[in-house]
Amino acid sequence: NAGVMQNPRHLVRRRGQEARLRCSPMKGHSHVYWYRQLPEEGLKFMVYLQKENIIDESGMPKERFSAEFPKEGPSILRIQQVVRGDSAAYFCASSPEASDTQYFGPGTRLTVL
């Protein structure tokens, strides 16, 4: 049973470009969470999605950031017009329904030049 998959593992963007991060949850998991880890800090919650629905986006910046989890395919975290402060590791985690245990992917490390 494959774990949570994220790609790319490393992403370099110039200021003003778009970053698109993908997360494939574990098989049978319909809940996805995105977290951001700034250098030398803990993880901060960004958004929680179920298939085709955003349930809680209270940790997501109001501008430039969006997330989706379509019926088919991976969950996508999209950052438009990236700035240097967006440089961080972005982790997604998945869980089966009605469970409080989340399983993390290896993360995408975004560097904005």
Binding site for other proteins (CB under 8 A): 4, 6, 31, 33, 35, 41-45, 48, 55-56, 59, 91, 93, 95, 99-107
Shortest distance in whole angstroms from residue 61 CB to other proteins: 16
* Residue nearer to other proteins on the CB measure, 74 or 105: 105
- Is residue 112 within 8 Å of residue 18, measured between CB atoms? no
User: CB of residue 112 vs other proteins: minimum separation in angstroms?
Assistant: 19
- Nearest distance in Å: CB 81, other proteins: 26
CB of 101 to other proteins, least distance (A): 6
Q: Are strands 10-13 and 108-112 parallel, antiparallel or unpaired?
A: parallel
Q: Nearer to other proteins by C-beta: 35 or 69?
A: 35
